[in-house]
Structure formats: C-alpha cells, structure tokens
Chain A
Amino acid sequence: MNKFKTLVLMQLKEKIDLSFLKSKKQLLFKVIFALLGFVAVTALAYVVLYLCQRLNIFSAINHLPISLMSVIFTVIFLISLFTCMIGLSKTLYYAKDNQIFLTYPVNSSCLFLSKLVVFYINEVKRSFTFVVPIFFAYGLLSGLPIYYFLWLPVMITVYTLIPVLIGGLLSFPVNFIIRFLNRYSFLKYALLFVILALVITLVVYAIAAIPEDINLIQSWRSVSRVIREFLSWFSDKFFIFYAFVIFLCGSYDNLQVTFFTEYSYIVLLVMIAVILVLALLNFLISRPLYLKMASRQFEFDNTKERKNKPNYQYGGLFSSCLYECKKSLRNSSVLTVTLSTAVIAPIAILLLNAIYSAINTRLMGDYLTISFNILVILLFVLAHNISVSYIFSRDGEAGMLNKTKPKKPLQILLPYLFYNFITSTLILIVTSSIFLAKTNLGGNGIFVFFMMWFIMIVHLLWSAELDFLNPKNNKYKLEGVVTVNSNEIKSTILAFILSMLCFGLALFFLMDGLGGVWIKLFFVALAFLVLRCYLFYYKTKVLFREI
C-alpha cells in the first residue's frame, strides 16, 4: 500500500504543481482563485439556464426539464469518455516514464492502478471545474434543497470513475486502430477522405434543409414542440443517463422534487456494480496489455529501406522554417488539429451564415450577425494557435539545445511560429471570405479581415511568449505529453478573451452608430499588434538567455 501511495504521489507531483502549499499567501491565492473560477463558471451556467427558463425554450411552463440536464450530462460524458480514451492511451502506453516505473520493485498491478488513479484524480479536478458548477447552477435555479449541494460533489466524484474505467478499457483498441492506420497510410488517407466526403454531404444537406425564411417568433410553437419531442425521445432512448440524472437531481412529481426514493437506491446499486465490473475488466484485460505495450521499444519500427538522398543547402532562417514545417506536418496531433480546424471552421461559418441569411433580421440583428461571425472565426483560428503555447517545450531538450546555436533569440524562436502562422492565416482567409461574401460589408471587409489577422498574430505571439519564457521542456522530455500545462490554459483563456473582446468591441461600436467602426477596430488591433510585437522582441531578447 505504501508503494502504491508513493507511486501515486510521485506522479501527481509531476503533473500538478503543488508548490503553492509551501506559502500561506500562495495557498490563499490559489484557494480564492479556485473559488472565483468555480463561482464564475456557476454564474455563467446559471445565466444560460436562467435565460432558457425565462424564454421557455425547453418547457412551456417556467421550468427547466430534467431531460435537458440529461442531454447536457450525456454530452459531457461523451466528451469525457473521448478525452479519457485519448489521454489514457498516451499515459498508459506511450509515456516515457513507463520505462523507469517498470524497473521499480512494485508489482505490475500496483503500477497500473497508480496510473489509473492519477488520471482519475485529474478527471475529478476537471469534473469540479465544469460538471459540478453546471449542476450547482441548475440546483440554484430550481431551488433544490441544501443537501443536494453536498450530495452532488460526492456523487460526481464517484461517477467520474466510469468514463475513466471505460476509457481505460477502450484505450487499447483505439490505440491499436491508430497504430494500424499509421502503418498503412493508404487506409488512413482513404478514411480521412471518406470522413471529409461525409461531412461535406452532411453540410450540403443541412444547408439545403434550412428554410428560405426563418421567422422564429411566428414558428416558435412548432420549434418548441420539436425541441420537447427531442427531449422526450432522448429520455427514452438514453434512459441510463436520464435515470442517473434523476438519481442526481431528484425526481419531480407535480413540480415537487423528491430525493432518495427506492428508485435512487437501485440506480446507486447499478452504478456501483458497473464500476466494479469495469474495474475488474480493466484489471483482467487492460493491465496485461498495458504491461506488454509499456515495455515495448519503438526503436527500429521503420524497416523500410531508403535510398540515400542528396544534401541541400538553404539559408539559415528559411531552413529553420522549412524543418519546422516538416516537424509539424509529421506530428499527427498537430496535423489533426490543423486539418479539423481547416475543415470545420469554414463549414461552421457557412452553416451559420446560411441560417442567419434565412432569418429576417432588423438592424440590431445585423449587428449581432456580423459580431457573432467575428467571434466564431476568431475562436476557431485562435483555438488552432493554442498549440503554440507548448511548441518550444514540445521539443524537449532539443529545443533547449537551440540556445547553443549561433543565432539571435528571435532567429531561434520565429521559425517555431511559421507553421501556425501560415496555416492559421490560410484558415482565416477561407473563413473570412465566406463570411464577407455572405454579409454586405463591402470595402470595409478588408479592414475586418486585417483586424482579425492582427488579433491572430497577437495571440500567436502571446502564446509563444508564454512558452518561450516559461518552458516546460523537462516535463515534455520526461513524459512526452503534459496533461495540465499552465501555459496552455493561459493561452486558451487568452484566445477566449481576445475573441470576446473583438466581439464586444465590434458590437459596441456598431451600436454606437458613429461610423468608421471597422477603421477604428483596425487601428485598435494594429496598435495592439505593434505593442505585442515590441514586447515579444524585447522580452525574448532579454529573457530568453536566462530560461
């Protein structure tokens, strides 16, 4: 048991920065920030649910149906399952620390369990960031009794075991499929092509299905009926989730909520049984596979014979950019993010604008449409650039070795941004073209595009700066992947804030009615870009030598 505890603590310390425990002030800050974050997410969820309730979107009476919560819960569960599958396949089979852990005098079950427990703790942390606040907001809005707020965190903590255990079970076949596809590139590309074709067909179908004139107010009754029918269909078909949500939030009888009925005990028993069975299956199936994979060397995977290639000389900066692109294109996770953004973003904008153009909007509606387009485009493009927040760290020690090369800090660092700069710009050009073609911005379109482009570069430089000045090369060197990277979190928050800021400013200036909106925004973004460029140059010049 002691060994197990040591293993868990060792891995936890590696994944979570616990340095704040040493200082009371830092601990206080950490607790306050965590609470503030929790309150903020709860408040946001409350506002959204409140609006849904007030607008009677999901129910004819002023009430939020429990089936809505079951839909939300199911979506969260599926996302959680997906992340667990991917995360566990990396943590269990490809983590570099495996080769060290396998040499420790602990039995394999202990090692396997410790890995699962560490992953589970991270998942619980994630649940408390999103799932619990959403259900708290629901509880506050529905006026649920006080014990609900104590009961909920406990049950969410227990429930989180399920996606982790299922993820553990499924991670191996997923991993096998990925490896299989990697081995047979033809199959991979064929599958990609099929998925792409399916998506395009689906989009064309969806656009065709959008009526020419959407009048939400007139057709609200029928829309509302469709929504309610969907909720009731969902509750029937996905009864397990529905039952679990009733178990969590209580069942309604004439708007009176009751907890801890016989029904609840049955659900509880079923949940415990499912967890036990899943744990057993993991132990019996995943553990041996884990040991087999963890001890496997990936050297000599490539058995193909290659002909000797010639050596070409390129200029220093061009060469760095070229090889940086090669590195990114050969990295499956980077390529997946780029491809998925490049496909999804234009489709989303196309769909969005197809719906908008069908809705008969007033002036305010037009303003909202334009601002919302900017928000969505920026969210996609900036989300694509989040990977820049660990682009230097990802190279591990090799990145640090760059410091020994006769290049200025900027010459070392700028090539890192080249791939994202090019791909994000291309994505922005495509999405903006669709957006501008669908709206009547005329010549102002050029200002809108450049405004978004400047913001994209601002985010790119800012995210890169986060990584360059606080790199995690050692963590990436040891683990290959870092699940909780503070730079990545900051970059994500930045992406959100910058997009919201542009959305808010665009809407605000449009509503102001003073004209010159896009020129103003263009210059604001330009000023911001100049400032960021200067700070990037200045900070990297002075601080890069010290990292």
Chain B
Amino acid sequence: MGYIIYGATIVVVIALYFIFKKQIDKKQNIVMKGLSLFLALVFFIRYLASDNLLNGVVSLKENSPFNSSFLCAIVCLQMWFSIASVVILILQPFFKYNILKNYAKTFCLFVNIVNSGMLLQLIYSQTGSYNITFAGAFLAIEVALSLLYSLYLFITNNFLKMSKKDLIEMLIALPVVLILSVPPYLPQAFFGNFNTTDIKNLSFYHRVYLYLAFIFLIVMYFLLKRVKDREYIRMALLYISLVTMVSYCYNYDFAIFIQPTRWPLHLCNTAMFIVPLCLIFRLDKLFYFTLFINVLGAFLAMLMPNYNDNFGFFVPNVVRFWINHSMAFIMPVLIILLGIYKRPKLREFKYSMIGFLIYFLLVLIVNAWFENYDTSVDFFFLNSDFIVSKLGRWAENTRNYIWSFNIGSLTFTFYPLYQFLFFVVYVILGLGMWFLYVWLFQFQDFYYRLAEKNKKIKLDENILCLKYGQKEVDSCMNSESVNKLVVTNAYKRYGNNKKYSLADASFEINAGEILGFLGSNGAGKSTLIKCIVGIQPLSKGSIEINGYDIEKQPLQAKQQFGYVPDHYALYENLTGREYINYIADIYGVSEEDRQERIEKYVTILNLKEAFDNKIRTYSHGMKQKITIIAALVHEPKLWILDEPFTGLDPNSIFELKECMKEHAKKGNIVFFSSHIIDIVEKLCDRIVIIKNGQIIESATLKELKKKKISLEKYYLNLIESDDIDAQMVEEKEISSPPAESKFFEEKESWLKRFKEKRKQKKLAKTRNQLSDENSEDKNKKVEKTDENVEKVDENVKKVDKNTEKNENNSKK
C-alpha cells in the first residue's frame, strides 16, 4: 500500500509537470518555492503523526522494531539523513547558492533513492505497521516528492557535473550538515546509554557537553567568519536552526495542541522557534529578546540542567536538552557576531527588556491558570522551587509569601516576592549580558582590525617586491634613491584627528648635503622627523633612506641613520659609556671601531671625565652630547638631528657644527631642524621650509646669496604670507583621506589585491619557466610579464581610487 501511494504521488506529480510544463518553465522559481513549502507541510504532518519506534532503540538491539541490527542501523541512518535532505530541499529555492543545488542533486538524490527502496521498513519504523496509516501515507508522499525534486535538480543542473571548488566546499560542509541533523535518539540507538552517572553538577560528562557547546560555537564562528556573503551565512544559520528545531521536536505529536502544559513555553524552548523565525523574517525586536534573554537563560540552564538524575550520556532526553539549550545559547550569538543583525544599542536592550516583561507576565498568568489542570506546570521555573533550592534556605523563604485568589472555579496562585525578585535578578543579569556583548564586540573588532593590518603589512611588502622586481624584501629596493633621503607625498594624521599634521610633503636630500629644516612651532617639523626615523607611521606616502623604505623595510632603513631627538631621552641609570656601548651593540659596531669613535667624540665634546658616571648625574647639555655620540657611533649614512643646539654651550655648538660638516664631507647626509636661522644660513647647503604641515619651499643657500636675500627675511616672508593656510590642508584631506584606519571599507580592496597577488604569483612562475627558454623569447616574454606587472599596479591603484571614492561617498 505504501508503494501504491508512493507510485501515485510520482505519477501525479509527473503528470502535473507535463500538463503545466510551459507555466512551470516560465515561473520555475515560484513553483519550486511552492513545492518546497508543500514538502515542508507534508514533512511536518508526517513528523507529528509518526509514532517513532526508533526512539527507544538501544544499541541497535533493545526495543528495536527489526530483528536485524543491520537493518535497524540502516533505517536509523536513513531517517537521520532524511531530516538533512528535507531541510536542504526546502531551503534550496529560497537561496541561489550552488552548494544547496549540489547537495540536492547528489546527497538528497542518493538518500531518497535508498529511501524509496526501503520505504516499507521506514514506514514500519515510524508507525509500527507495514499496513498503511496516516503517518505512513505521508511518509510515502514525502519520499516520493523528495526523490522527484532532487531528480529534477539533478537533470536540470548538469547531472553530476560541478566545479572542483564546489565539490570541496560541499565535502567540507558535509560533516557539519550531518552532525547537526542528528536526531536525539540516534546516539542511544547506536551506542547505548553509554554511561549512567549524573550529567549534572559539573561532573565530567556534564563538562563534556559544555565543552562541546563552546567548541561548536567557536568552530562555527571561524568557519563562517571567512564567508563574506551575509546571505550565505544566513542560509547556513537557517539550516542549523531548522534541523535542530526538527531534532528538538522529535517527541512532539498532534496531542500537544490540546495539552497546553506541553507547549514549548519554557524560555529556552521558545528559542528553538524564535531563531528560525528571526532568520526567515526580519524580526528585530524578537531577535534582541532572544539575544539578551534566551542566551542568558540557556547558559544558566546548561549550568544547572533540569533532567532527571542518573540519566545516561546518550539518553534521548539528555541529547535533546543539550541540542535545545546549546542552540538557544549559540545561535543568537553567532547571528550577531557574523553580522546578520546589527549590534544592539541601548534602544535594542530596552526592547528586549520590554519583551522579557511581556513574556514574564504571560508565563506568570499561564502558570497560575494551567496549574488548575496539571500541578506539574512550571514554565520558566516560576512555579517551583527548582531555582531557589540551589541557592539555600534564605532563597526558599522567598516562596513563603503566597497570594491566591479565585475566578470562578479556577484558583490563581502567585509567589509575589519570589517572582518579583526573580524578575529583578534576571533583568540585572540581562544588563550584565549587555556589558558582556559590548566587550565581545570590542574584542571582535580589535582582532578583526589586527588581522586586517597584518594583511596590509604583508600586502605592502609584496607590492614593494612587485614594484622593484622579484627581489627579497631585505635587499635595497630602489637603486635610484641610494645615498639619498627621499620623501614622497608624505601624509600624517594622528588618531582620528581631522586635520593633517603633515600633508603631501615631498623632497630629496643627496649625499654630501647638509639640509636645514625650518618652520614655526607646530608646523610639522618634528612629525616629519618622527616619521622618517620610524617613531610614527605615515598615513600615506613613502620615505626612502639610502634605497630602503622606512615603512616596508624598517630594519634595513633604520640601520642607515643616526637620530638626535629634540629632547634627550636616555637610560638614566646607566653610565654614559654603558649607554653608548649598548647603542653600538644594537648597530653591531666592532670593538675597534667603537673604541676609536667613542674616544674621538668624547674628546671633541669634552665629556671624558663624566663618561663613566651615571647619566642621571649629567647636566642637560651633557645628556644632549651623549645622544649625539649615540647617533654617530655607527657612522650612519644619514644623520638626523631635531633641534640639536638647544641647551649646548658655545664650545659644544661649535664642535657639533664641525662634526656635521665633517660628516657631510664624507659623503653622508646631514638633516637637521632648527629655529636658529643664523646657524642654518652658515651651515647648510639647502633649506626646506614647512608650514601647516606642507612643504612650502626648498631652496639652496647659493640661490639666496645670488639674489642677495638674507635667509631670515626670506623665511619670515614665506611664513607670514597667507597663501597657504590651514584651510587648504583640511580641504586636501577631505579629497584624499589616508587609507590608514579604514579597515572595514578597505576590505574589498584588499580582497581584490589578493586576487591580483595570486595572478602575480602565476606570472612569476611563468618567468621562472621562461628562464629555461632561449634568450630572445625570454626577453619578449619578460617584457610582457613586466607589462602585466604594470597592469597589476594600475589595477591596484584603481582599486585604491575606488576605495577612496567609496569612502567619500560613505562620508557624504
């Protein structure tokens, strides 16, 4: 009889298909959705109507409806896979992702072919009879529909053909898809009760369930975090919520509708229905209720489970409890962390509290009302001493205050003090949850930004390699800037400050030059110097020291310079000698070299007597001299000094100037900032003037001398002119914001860059292959590869521009 209904269903559906073929082909999507919903209805009716005999099976032998363990195992497996298959088929037309289609045409098809072959056994396992019953008939229809549905998808979607990527994606997801749809009776059916000790009071087996819940949360988060498409994440979460809802309902039947005491009104039970509803429809307020209230309730329930003592580890009730509560705990957290719903603010918290108040009052009334029919009714533990018994006598006493009244023949009993305190404590705990979420979001954002920054660093290194050929990052990248300091379009903005401290600064200093850096206080001198020496990162632009980029090759670049800060900064508990030796060790200066240099500079700067005393006993000038020696001990290519003459005595100023001249004569670069224009005029070959973060002048002293203009007048004229003002800097900033802190907005850009990088790797491979070929071909192909590299560069620039445009748009 089962096969007759099964066959009839197939015939009817095929007949309908051919009759309405044109219409179906036209409105395929709507028909598929309709079919899915119909299948859902059939499954729902069958599920509630079934008297599942597999519920009591233990180790495939005890209470088994079949004589053969093997048959029992196969039927159990088929019923398990059927749940996954039906949910996949229901979801398939609502989401346009290949993974669902691929599962439908492979996994679901296979499951339903086997189900068709074993239809009678399946019907028997669900009804206890081979004769047809209401549930059996619906099972036959369900199998037939599922088979036709998956077969249709198999035919219309290139049969078994699928891309390698799709296949891998499907295989990775398969364990999750199957494990999550395990019905609660299945572990017991296969493995028995496993253990009959308490799975409470944080015993070992209780802890195993807790660990599993947290591990699942973490694994799912990291698996889904990589997916950028939110709709895809929604689909995955909806699948999880639906299959677990089906598992949770495993012992429900139609009688539940007329037995209100069995209704799923316990807080955590509600979550099994609220979560899928929130994922299907956009029910913001309901979702925040579940986020604050259900999660907390589920966590507390997981800590204090309310099933009977001495239950086995795999007893269906225990498994069901853990499926229910772990999902009520995990799902809302996953939904919010993966960005399906926006993060809650105070307003959302208020909604959730209002929702909780409504729920609380509802349960309060329902409990008091239903108690008249069934004394065991205890939704949300408001009617029993389950909670207070765990807190001690003082808590139990709160239930001594009773308020009771009659309406007609019904008696309504309340415990005002206990129930009020219960509510208050829960609200306070809800508030705690809010803080916890805020902390969790901060934590998530922090690590997200960290990962993005790390990506950016690696990406920058790779781009640098691409720019200057396939060199190692350690080698000198730009031969054009060897023996030079090259600052190119340097921008610097501190934190979230709107204004730039440095905007579009560009200049070059050549070997043998002494360059004076002038500007009024707050003009950006120290900022630029700090960027050059690597104390502050640039927001945009580049700085190359002797061919090394300070941002991308910091170690190599820093080896090239010595730095004298504007204010001495020393380890005051060390002696002068110890400090200099420490610095020399860092730069790897040999013993002979340091002996010679230290002797020389200590004598020149007249520091011999105090050199072995602790630095904290030095005067300001002496400390400044120590920083000068520390900067020169490794004979740097570039010597940077930030206001070096401050606090020095006239002798030392003279000696310092001589040192600077001598250093430049050796073919090195000396770059210093100062407010003492006279010294700059006499000492420098060239000057650079900065105002409001912008370089406004770069001139040689010879030019000024030719024009017979004194540097002082020239400088004052430039500084006092109103041509360049702060306004400009701000405007500039709006049109070209630096990409430093916009990690979220840049995400797409980086993804594209990564794709480009992959392409680049392929190009590099081709290059290597080319090296074996003849030289002419090789040169031509290398040129082509170089062109490709340029194209890649252009692409990267385009992507950058697009990102900037997007940022501007988002700002607007």
Q: Is A366 an interface residue (CB 8 A)?
A: no
Contact B613 A302 (CB under 8 A): yes
Contact A323 B571 (CB under 8 A): yes
CB-CB contacts below 8 Å: B569-618 with A = 569-571, 573-574, 577-578, 580-591, 594-595, 598, 608-609, 611-614, 616-618
Binds A, one of B308-316, B555-563, B692-700: B555-563
- Give the docked Cα–Cα distance between A477 and B565 (Å): 14
Contact A316 B586 (CB under 8 A): yes
Contact B450 A542 (CB under 8 A): yes
- Give the docked Cα–Cα distance between A24 and B713 (Å): 51
Contact B569 A398 (CB under 8 A): yes
Contact B534 A404 (CB under 8 A): yes
Contacts of B565 in A (CB 8 A): 397, 401
- Give the docked Cα–Cα distance between A29 and B594 (Å): 55
- Give the docked Cα–Cα distance between A270 and B763 (Å): 89
Q: Is A225 an interface residue (CB 8 A)?
A: no
Query: In the complex, which of the residues B537, B577, B585 contacts A546, with contact meaning CB atoms closer than 8 Å?
Result: B537
Q: Is A301 an interface residue (CB 8 A)?
A: yes
Query: In the complex, which of the residues A298, A312, A395, A404 contacts B571, with contact meaning CB atoms closer than 8 Å?
Result: A395
CB-CB contacts below 8 Å: A270-326 with B = 298-302, 304-309, 311-316, 319-320, 323, 326
CB-CB contacts below 8 Å: A385-404 with B = 395-398, 400-401, 403-404
Q: Which residue of A lies closest to B593 (CB)?
A: A313
CB-CB contacts below 8 Å: A111-155 with B = none
Contacts of B595 in A (CB 8 A): 311
Binds B, one of A247-255, A405-413, A448-456: A405-413
Q: A311-B581, A543-B450, A545-B537 are in contact. Are A326 and B589 (CB under 8 A)?
A: no
Min C-beta distance of B585 to chain A, whole Å: 3
Min C-beta distance of B270 to chain A, whole Å: 29
Contact A319 B585 (CB under 8 A): yes
Q: Is B453 an interface residue (CB 8 A)?
A: yes
Q: Is A209 an interface residue (CB 8 A)?
A: no
Contacts of A396 in B (CB 8 A): 569
Q: Which residue of B lies closest to A477 (CB)?
A: B569
Contacts of A542 in B (CB 8 A): 450, 453-454, 457
Contact A326 B570 (CB under 8 A): no
Contacts of B558 in A (CB 8 A): 404-407
Q: Which residue of A lies closest to B452 (CB)?
A: A542
Contact A406 B556 (CB under 8 A): yes
Give the number of residues in B that approach A within 8 Å (Cβ atoms): 55
Contact A330 B584 (CB under 8 A): no
Encoded as 1 (CB less than 8 Å from any A CB) or 0, chain B from 538 to 557 comes to: 00000000000000001111
Contacts of A395 in B (CB 8 A): 571
Contact A541 B556 (CB under 8 A): no
Q: Is A512 an interface residue (CB 8 A)?
A: yes
CB-CB contacts below 8 Å: B430-457 with A = 435, 450, 453-454, 457
Q: Which residue of A lies closest to B631 (CB)?
A: A404
Size band of the A side of the interface? 35 or more
Q: Which residue of A lies closest to B345 (CB)?
A: A25
CB-CB contacts below 8 Å: A514-540 with B = 514, 538-539
Q: A404-B535, A408-B555 are in contact. Are A323 and B574 (CB under 8 A)?
A: yes
Contacts of B591 in A (CB 8 A): 311-313
Q: Is B382 an interface residue (CB 8 A)?
A: no
Encoded as 1 (CB less than 8 Å from any B CB) or 0, chain A from 1 to 45 comes to: 000000000000000000000000100010010000000000000
Contact A404 B577 (CB under 8 A): no
Contact B569 A316 (CB under 8 A): no
Q: Which residue of A lies closest to B207 (CB)?
A: A512
Q: Is A222 an interface residue (CB 8 A)?
A: no
Q: A326-B574, A395-B571, A542-B457 are in contact. Are A306 and B612 (CB under 8 A)?
A: yes
Min C-beta distance of B459 to chain A, whole Å: 13
Q: Is B533 an interface residue (CB 8 A)?
A: yes
Contacts of B534 in A (CB 8 A): 403-404, 545
- Give the docked Cα–Cα distance between A403 and B533 (Å): 8
Min C-beta distance of B561 to chain A, whole Å: 8
Q: Is B228 an interface residue (CB 8 A)?
A: no
List 20 A-B residue pairs with CB atoms under 8 Å apart, sorted by A's residue number: A298-B616, A306-B612, A309-B612, A311-B594, A311-B595, A312-B581, A313-B591, A319-B585, A319-B586, A320-B586, A323-B578, A326-B578, A327-B573, A395-B571, A400-B535, A407-B558, A407-B586, A542-B453, A543-B450, A545-B554
Known contacts A307-B612, A407-B586, A512-B203; 13 further A-B pairs (Cβ under 8 A): A25-B346, A306-B612, A311-B595, A313-B594, A315-B585, A319-B582, A319-B586, A326-B573, A326-B574, A327-B571, A401-B565, A406-B554, A508-B202
Q: Which residue numbers of A lie inside 8 Å of B, CB to CB?
A: 25, 29, 32, 298-302, 304-309, 311-316, 319-320, 323, 326-327, 330-331, 395-398, 400-401, 403-408, 477, 508, 512, 514, 538-539, 541-543, 545-546
